[in-house]
């Protein structure tokens, strides 16, 4: 577990920030406008946003918490011309519409999957799909792959990083980590995230080696400027992390797709962060991931949001791997 993340946890109790590295900043406007321009489809009565560039076999980029398709803006250009690039905004995130009657039971992973899979169906994403998946986007992508395992033509390849490849036990984490997630799952979590917005304001930037520009930070903050239920997605996701079998439904489907991945012959590319957060040297997650058949592994600098620290390295690694 990254010491940097634990320092971020300490911030909550101590309000002590820590410095970012001198990793060079990458300007937002380096990416062409077509990689951040949104299109929309209405899914189950809600507008969902997505970026789409190019033609051919689908290459689908799935983000997690607390980000959006904007996370992929500097990676997608490396794959232009290699397929139909699609980067959705999950429901309630990015420019996708918020849910009505929001509350503690909304924006679960399974609810996200319902909207996302309907969007992919509406976009005709059915055959020869390459998934590029991160954070909770990995759970959604792996689960989509598992659901489509009966169709040998559905899935072409999987690229994953900082992904949920297995469930967790409390004895594999430092006490500070468990204390933090117990806090998030308590009533105090509502204030920390829905009111104080700590996931966007502190934990997100602390998952990146470099300092984001003001323009970049503004774009990530934009969907969650309004306190309260507009920020609910950023609270439900950490409450869904499966530790000691809780929540039971998330534990069950992650264990199910993890077992399937250990037998699947679909080509897989693991992009591991150095130092990383979820998939780190010596971790159970890395051991599990390395047991997947047909796996190639590369490493790039980064903590959790590797796309912001190493977009060119990631984009070129994916392009080279797809060309091999």
Cα distance between residue 233 and residue 30, in whole Å: 29
Specify the pLDDT at position 273: 98
Write out pLDDT tens, residues 173-219.
788 888 998 999 999 999 999 999 999 999 999 999 999 999 999 99
pLDDT at 16 over 60: no
> With 90 as the cut, is the pLDDT of residue 228 above it?
yes
Q: Judge contact between 32 and 75, C-beta under 8 A.
A: no
Please tell me which residue in 78, 112, 134, 304 is annotated as part of the active site: 304
**Torsion angle defined by CA atoms of residues 137, 140, 146 and 148, in that order, rounded to the nearest 10 degrees:** -100
As a whole number of Å, the end-to-end CA separation of the chain is: 33
Residue 155 has pLDDT above 50, yes or no: yes
In the annotation, is 135 catalytic? yes
What is the total residue count of the chain?
324
Closest among 268, 272, 281 to 310, alpha carbons compared: 272
CATH number of 3-16+29-323, picked from 3.50.50.60, 3.30.720.200, 3.40.50.1820, 1.10.10.10: 3.40.50.1820
What confidence category does residue 1 fall into, taking pLDDT thresholds of 50, 70 and 90? very low
How many C-beta atoms surround the C-beta of residue 58 within 10 A? 22
Stretch 257-266: mean pLDDT: 98
pLDDT in tens, 45-58: 999 999 999 999 99
Give tens-digit pLDDT for 202-211: 999 999 999 9
Q: What pLDDT score does 175 carry?
A: 85
For residue 24, is pLDDT > 90? no
Rounded CA-CA distance 159/157 in Å is 7
- Sign, CA dihedral 3-309-277-106, equals positive
Q: Is 162 a catalytic residue?
A: yes
Report pLDDT digits (tens) over 114-152.
Answer: 999 999 999 999 999 999 999 999 999 999 999 999 999
With vertex at residue 113, the alpha carbon angle to CA 220 and CA 103, rounded to the nearest 5 degrees, is: 65
Instruction: Determine the pLDDT at residue 18.
Output: 40
Give the pair of three-digit tokens for residue 95: 């420019």
CA distance linking residue 140 with residue 203, whole number of Å: 22
Residue from 89, 95, 135, 309 carrying the catalytic annotation:
135
- What counts of helices (H) and strands (E) characterise the chain? 12, 8
Q: What is the pLDDT of residues 275-301, one digit of tens each?
A: 999 999 999 999 999 999 999 999 999
Query: Active-site residue 304, yes or no?
Result: yes
Helical residues (DSSP H) of the chain, grouped into ranges: 3-14, 109-122, 136-147, 175-185, 188-189, 198, 214-221, 232-239, 248-261, 284-290, 306-309, 311-323
Q: Is the peptide bond before 129 cis (omega within 30 degrees of 0)?
A: no
Residue 67 has pLDDT above 90, yes or no: yes
Percentage of residues of the chain with pLDDT beyond 70:
91
The better pLDDT of the pair 259, 26 is held by 259
Per annotation, catalytic residue among 89, 162, 308, 309: 162
Considering only CA atoms, which of 205, 219, 159 is closest in space to residue 36? 219
Mean pLDDT of the chain: 92
Question: What share of the chain has pLDDT > 90, as a percent?
Answer: 85
Q: What is the pTM of this model?
A: 0.93
- The domain ranges of the chain are 3-16+29-323
pLDDT of residue 176: 85
Q: What DSSP line would sit under 138-207, residue for residue?
A: HHHHHHHHHHTTT-TTTEEEEEEEEE--S-B-GGGS-HHHHHHHHHHHSTHHIIIIIIS-HIIIIITGGG
């Amino acid at each position: 577990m990254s010491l940097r993340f634990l320092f971020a946890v300490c911030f909550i109790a101590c309000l002590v920030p820590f410095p970012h590295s001198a990793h060079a900043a990458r300007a937002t406007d380096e990416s062409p406008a077509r990689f951040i321009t949104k299109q929309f489809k209405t899914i189950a009565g809600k507008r969902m946003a997505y970026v789409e560039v190019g033609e051919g076999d689908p290459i689908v980029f799935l983000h997690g918490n607390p980000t959006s398709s904007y996370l992929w803006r500097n990676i997608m250009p490396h794959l232009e011309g290699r397929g139909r690039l699609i980067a959705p905004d999950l429901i309630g995130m990015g420019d996708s519409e918020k849910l009505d009657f929001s509350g503690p039971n909304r924006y679960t992973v399974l609810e996200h999957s319902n909207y996302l899979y309907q969007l992919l169906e509406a976009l005709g994403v059915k055959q020869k799909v390459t998934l590029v998946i991160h954070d909770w986007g990995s759970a959604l992508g792996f689960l989509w792959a598992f659901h489509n395992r009966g169709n040998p033509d559905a899935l072409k390849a999987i690229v994953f990083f900082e992904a949920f490849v297995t469930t967790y036990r409390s004895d594999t984490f430092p006490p500070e980590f468990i204390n933090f997630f117990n806090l998030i799952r308590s009533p105090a979590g509502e204030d920390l995230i829905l009111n104080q917005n700590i996931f966007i304001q502190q934990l997100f930037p602390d998952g990146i080696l470099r300092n984001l520009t003001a323009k970049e930070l503004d774009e990530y903050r934009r969907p969650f400027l309004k306190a309260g239920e507009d920020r609910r997605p950023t609270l439900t996701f950490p409450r869904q992390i499966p530790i000691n079998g809780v929540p039971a439904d998330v534990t069950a489907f992650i264990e199910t797709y993890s077992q399937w991945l250990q037998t699947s012959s679909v080509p897989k590319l693991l992009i591991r962060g150095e130092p990383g957060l979820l998939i780190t040297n010596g971790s159970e997650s890395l051991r599990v991931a390395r047991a997947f058949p047909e796996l190639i592994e590369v490493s790039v600098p980064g903590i959790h949001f590797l796309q912001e620290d190493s977009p060119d390295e990631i984009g070129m690694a994916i392009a080279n791997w797809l060309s091999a």
